[in-house]
């Protein structure tokens, strides 16, 4: 693989990965600053700032940005996670100059027009309201608050309606000038671009960093997982209940991380996993049941989830806890382990077919501190996991869960 | 206009096997993966109303064992080689797909051929799976968008094959026993109604040979499909409101849409849809959401179907703005009816549509879905092959003519889910 790495004169790191025969170009620019860096009273500030990056620059209105991108059949989107901000473009390779021009315009020349600020804030507030109309998102928001109590991961990156209402445009401008700097940026391009011309264009379009000091991230004083051992019951007028059982997870790049990744697959990934074959196929408790391991910079978490009828909520919750603890009491058989291994590797292979997903994965590996090469190493790391490693990781992490239960209330007559 | 070249795909090859099954091969050298995907041109539109939901129920049962494999063995076979297996059911089709690393192509083909030919449909398993589908039904009832569209289709059609929900309802699921399902399976899953897609890192010759072998002797008599309710009649203008514990208003405005019979009209309708509601520079997005701030989200939808279907504008908004929002939507329709889209708007819509289509082909499953969908609806492999070129030929006058023909009526069905008043 011919991945080349570069550092521009302004400090921006650049990775270029050619993909023969494809003719699609995906560029992901990331900045290591995210929702977890917002003080609680300003929750949602980084997300709102990110969204406004594509809503008007010194020379283009929001409409002109959309029109310029869509006229070449491309897209530009900004996203804010807990750990980093990303702005992504997708175009045909031949249009790489326009992609770089628009991307740099949005990143470095945004103006945060007052009218756009007001409009975008109202839209995010509306999304927060709609988010709570969806069962999984509603349950997950409550789980996050419980599990991460006191930690910056406790609050969703969008913030809350009230914290958004308190935000001022000046505060976003301050954050913009300090956080979106080329010397804090990683740019990953996947596609066939003429390398030296591409780098030359980046040098031309991306500015030099300002001399003011960059924002420093403050490490949280609390370890995640303060809500472990607690259950939160949330009544809501849904037809179906929803349960999330969560455990802390190790950092992704560690041996324990690889072992828990396989434990997660044994438990709840795929139709032959324990949760699916037992709680769905055998006990008929659910349509939607599974497990996931969320990678984070500071700590991951292992989630087990199920949507179930109003009368089987407790049975489903107990079933999930039993199966999670069962990883220690009933170690995976060689066949089960092999199935989990193949499933993880298959998903990994299939999930990396698009240039956009490759660019995202490479950026994430860098920001998680694993290095972009992690994608090449990962299969061997997973293959090296022994059954005893899974037992050890399960003993260390799968105990004392935090539980969020959305319990259906009968509709009022 | 410069469009993306015929990007990730090589030549597409088709062959009809002696039993009537169509095999479609799309080689993608170097991709490292292969998708095997069987499309059956039968869906909820073909169901007797008494057992509405049987197509989707049957889709679940195909994973529940065959004459040769017990419950769970199919999933284990595929997942044991790192494959991803899934299925989908709609009004017009059902399809079953597996994606694996190339060396495991034989396993993927074997499993797909086994489930579509030899499903066991065990009685006990059927009774158990019914509960799982009822849970799936509950998920949809709790999802404002899911519920909105289910109700919209039921109200917008007085009669017609698309009126009833794909999932069925608990009563019709209860009424579906093994005998009904077996009869439906044997009657409809005949090779002439199926297309086997093989997309990915394969050599066409050996792959075709393997397909011939896997489906050797697969013959079932072909019986023409009769839609469950052959005549489509639309409801005359009406507003239907459901009050629910939601935080915002979710709404849809729907109008009659034609079936996919004329290819040029289909390309034109897709462009019309993008002029109005595709992308952030479209008329509805700009005028209704961005400038007038009436909607919090908005887009236009239309899918090419076998029978008369719906155009719809989906939105979320504050209830207090809804009347003005609906008016603003009609005003955007009128703009296209009164004058053809300006060159830059037409260019943007065509380019965005063509590239979105090309980008969707980036994965083997994406390509398989795209070819499979259009082949199943049209019976013509050329439709999808020519899609990008077809879209690029659409003129501003054509877009205006189509808007005049289909969007001039105000006999719309408005379906609304709004917050319960306390």
pLDDT at B421: 78
Q: Three-state DSSP class for B255? A: strand
* Spatial contact of A238 and A398, defined as CB atoms under 8 Å apart: no
pLDDT at A413: 39
Residue B1 clears pLDDT 70, i.e. is over it: no
Contacts of B2 in chain A (CB under 8 A): 94
Percent of chain B scored above 70 by pLDDT?
97
pLDDT at B422: 62
* Spatial contact of B96 and B62, defined as CB atoms under 8 Å apart: yes
Cβ of A62 under 8 Å from any chain B Cβ? yes
pLDDT at A212: 80
Residues of chain A with CATH 3.30.830.10: 4-205, 231-408
Q: Which CATH class is domain A231-408?
A: alpha beta
Q: Does A240 contact B138 at a Cβ distance shorter than 8 Å? A: yes
What average pLDDT score do residues B40-67 get? 96
Q: CA of A87 to nearest chain B CA: how many angstroms apart?
A: 16
Cβ of B364 under 8 Å from any chain A Cβ? yes
Cβ of B320 under 8 Å from any chain A Cβ? no
Q: CB A232: neighbour CB atoms within 10 A?
A: 17
Residue B8 clears pLDDT 60, i.e. is over it: no
pLDDT at B229: 81
Contacts of B248 in chain A (CB under 8 A): 126, 129-130, 133
| Tens digit of each residue's pLDDT (9 = 90 or more) over B65-102 | 999 999 889 999 999 999 999 999 999 999 999 999 99
Q: CA of B273 to nearest chain A CA: how many angstroms apart?
A: 15
Please give the structure tokens belonging to residue B105.
Answer: 């192509």
Q: Where are the domains of chain B?
A: 13-214, 236-419
Q: Regarding the domain delimited by B236-419, which CATH topology (the fold level of the hierarchy) does it fall under?
A: Cytochrome Bc1 Complex; Chain A, domain 1 (3.30.830)
Cβ of A118 under 8 Å from any chain B Cβ? no
Q: What are phi and psi of A162, to 5 degrees?
A: -70, -40
Question: CB neighbours of A197 closer than 8 A, spacing ≥ 6?
Answer: none
Q: CA of B219 to nearest chain A CA: how many angstroms apart?
A: 30
| Tens digit of each residue's pLDDT (9 = 90 or more) over A52-101 | 999 999 999 999 999 999 999 999 999 999 999 999 999 999 999 999 99
Cβ of A251 under 8 Å from any chain B Cβ? no
Q: State how far Cα B263 lies from the chain centre.
A: 18
pLDDT at A396: 94
Q: Does A342 contact B245 at a Cβ distance shorter than 8 Å? A: no
| Tens digit of each residue's pLDDT (9 = 90 or more) over A203-262 | 999 999 888 887 889 888 788 888 999 999 999 999 999 999 999 999 888 999 999 999
| Tens digit of each residue's pLDDT (9 = 90 or more) over B394-414 | 999 999 999 999 999 999 999
* Spatial contact of B419 and B248, defined as CB atoms under 8 Å apart: yes
pLDDT at A222: 81
Question: CB neighbours of B319 closer than 8 A, spacing ≥ 6?
Answer: B248, B249, B418, B419
Cβ of A115 under 8 Å from any chain B Cβ? no
Among the four given CATH numbers 3.20.20.70, 2.10.60.10, 3.30.830.10, 2.40.50.100, the one describing domain B13-214 = 3.30.830.10
Mean pLDDT over each residue of chain B, to the nearest integer? 94
Residue A410 clears pLDDT 70, i.e. is over it: no
Mean pLDDT over each residue of chain A, to the nearest integer? 94
Counting beta carbons within 10 angstroms of the beta carbon of residue B422, is it exposed (0 to 12), middle (13 to 18) or buried (19 or more)? exposed
Residue with tokens 């991307």: A103
B159, containing H or E segment = strand B157-159
pLDDT at A2: 87
Cβ of B8 under 8 Å from any chain A Cβ? yes
**CB contacts < 8 Å between A and B, how many?**
169
What average pLDDT score do residues B359-376 get? 95
Cβ of A20 under 8 Å from any chain B Cβ? yes
Task: Say whether domain A4-205 belongs to CATH 3.40.50.2000.
Answer: no
Residue A354 clears pLDDT 70, i.e. is over it: yes
pLDDT at A363: 98
Question: CB neighbours of B38 closer than 8 A, spacing ≥ 6?
Answer: B95, B96, B97, B112, B116, B194, B195, B196, B197
Question: Alpha-carbon distance B103 to B100, whole Å?
Answer: 8
What average pLDDT score do residues A134-156 get? 95
């Amino acid at each position: 693989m011919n991945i080349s790495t570069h550092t521009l004169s302004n400090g921006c790191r650049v990775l270029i990965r050619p993909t023969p025969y494809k003719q699609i170009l995906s560029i992901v620019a990331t900045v290591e600053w995210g929702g977890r860096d917002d003080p609680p009273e300003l929750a949602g500030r980084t997300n709102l700032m990110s969204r406004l990056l594509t809503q008007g620059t010194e020379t283009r209105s929001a409409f002109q940005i959309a029109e310029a991108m869509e006229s070449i059949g491309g897209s530009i989107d900004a996203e804010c996670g807990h750990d980093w901000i990303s702005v992504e473009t997708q175009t045909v390779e031949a249009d790489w100059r326009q992609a770089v021009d628009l991307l740099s315009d949005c990143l470095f020349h945004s103006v945060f027009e007052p009218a756009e600020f007001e409009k975008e804030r109202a839209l995010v507030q509306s999304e927060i309201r709609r988010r709570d109309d969806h069962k999984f998102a509603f349950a997950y928001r409550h789980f996050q608050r419980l599990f991460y109590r006191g930690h910056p991961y406790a609050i969703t990156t969008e913030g809350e309606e009230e914290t958004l209402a308190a935000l001022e445009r000046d505060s976003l401008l301050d954050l913009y000038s300090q956080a979106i700097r080329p010397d804090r940026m990683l740019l990953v391009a996947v596609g066939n671009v003429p390398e030296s011309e591409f780098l030359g264009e980046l040098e031309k379009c991306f500015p030099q960093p300002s001399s003011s000091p960059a924002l420093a991230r403050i490490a949280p004083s609390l370890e995640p997982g303060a809500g472990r051992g607690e259950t939160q019951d949330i009544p809501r007028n849904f037809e179906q209940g929803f349960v999330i059982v969560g455990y802390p997870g190790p950092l992704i790049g560690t041996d324990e991380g690889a072992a828990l990744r396989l434990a997660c697959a044994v438990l709840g990934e795929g139709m032959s996993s324990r949760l699916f074959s037992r709680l769905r196929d055998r006990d008929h408790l659910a349509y939607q049941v599974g497990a996931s391991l969320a990678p984070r910079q500071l700590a991951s978490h292992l989630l087990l989830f199920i949507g179930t009828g109003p009368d089987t909520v407790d049975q489903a919750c107990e079933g999930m806890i039993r199966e999670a603890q069962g990883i220690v009491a009933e170690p995976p058989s060689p066949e089960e382990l092999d199935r989990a291994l193949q499933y993880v590797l298959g998903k990994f292979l299939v999930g990396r077919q698009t240039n956009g997903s490759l660019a995202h994965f490479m950026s994430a590996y860098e920001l998680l501190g694993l290095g972009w090469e992690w994608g090449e190493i990962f299969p061997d790391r997973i293959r090296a996991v022994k059954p005893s490693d899974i037992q050890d990781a399960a003993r260390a992490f799968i105990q004392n869960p935090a539980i969020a239960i959305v319990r259906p209330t009968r509709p009022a007559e | 206009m410069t469009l993306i070249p015929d990007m990730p795909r090589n030549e597409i090859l088709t062959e009809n096997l002696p039993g009537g099954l169509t095999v479609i091969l799309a080689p993608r050298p170097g991709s490292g993966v292969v998708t095997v995907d069987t499309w059956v041109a039968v869906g909820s539109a073909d169901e007797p109303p008494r057992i509405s939901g049987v197509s989707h129920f049957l889709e679940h049962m195909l994973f529940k064992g065959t004459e040769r494999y017990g419950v769970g063995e199919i999933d284990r076979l595929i997942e044991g080689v790192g494959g991803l297996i899934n299925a989908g059911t709609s009004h017009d089709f059902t399809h079953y797909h597996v994606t694996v690393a190339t060396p495991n192509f034989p396993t993927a083909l074997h499993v797909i051929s086994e489930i579509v030919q030899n499903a066991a449909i065990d009685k006990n398993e059927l009774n158990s799976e019914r509960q799982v589908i009822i849970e799936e039904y509950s998920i949809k009832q709790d999802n404002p968008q899911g519920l909105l569209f289910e109700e919209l289709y039921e109200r917008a059609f007085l009669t017609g094959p698309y009126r009833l929900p794909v999932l069925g309802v608990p009563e019709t699921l209860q009424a579906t026993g093994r005998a009904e399902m077996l009869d439906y399976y044997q009657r409809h899953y005949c090779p002439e109604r199926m297309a086997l897609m093989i997309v990915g890192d394969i050599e066409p010759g050996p792959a075709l040979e393997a397909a011939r072998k896997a489906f050797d002797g697969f013959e079932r008599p072909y019986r023409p499909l009769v839609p469950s309710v052959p005549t489509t009649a639309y409801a005359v203008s009406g507003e239907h409101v459901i009050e629910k514990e939601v935080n915002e208003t979710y709404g849809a405005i729907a109008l009659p849409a034609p079936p996919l019979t004329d290819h040029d009209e289909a390309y034109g309708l897709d462009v019309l849809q993008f002029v109005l509601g595709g992308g952030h520079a479209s008329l509805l997005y700009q005028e209704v959401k961005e400038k007038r701030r009436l909607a919090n989200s908005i887009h236009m939808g239309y899918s090419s179907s076998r029978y008369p279907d719906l155009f719809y504008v989906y939105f979320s908004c504050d209830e207090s703005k809804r009347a003005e929002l609906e008016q603003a939507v009609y005003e955007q329709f009128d703009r296209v009816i009164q004058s053809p889209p300006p060159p830059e708007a037409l260019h943007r819509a065509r380019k965005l549509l063509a590239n979105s289509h090309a980008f969707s082909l980036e994965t083997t499953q994406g390509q398989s879905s795209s070819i499979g969908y259009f082949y199943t609806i049209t019976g013509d492999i050329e439709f999808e092959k020519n899609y990008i070129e077809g879209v690029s030929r659409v003129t501003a006058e054509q877009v205006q003519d189509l808007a005049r023909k289909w969007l001039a009526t105000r006999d719309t069905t408005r379906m609304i889910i709004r917050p319960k008043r306390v």
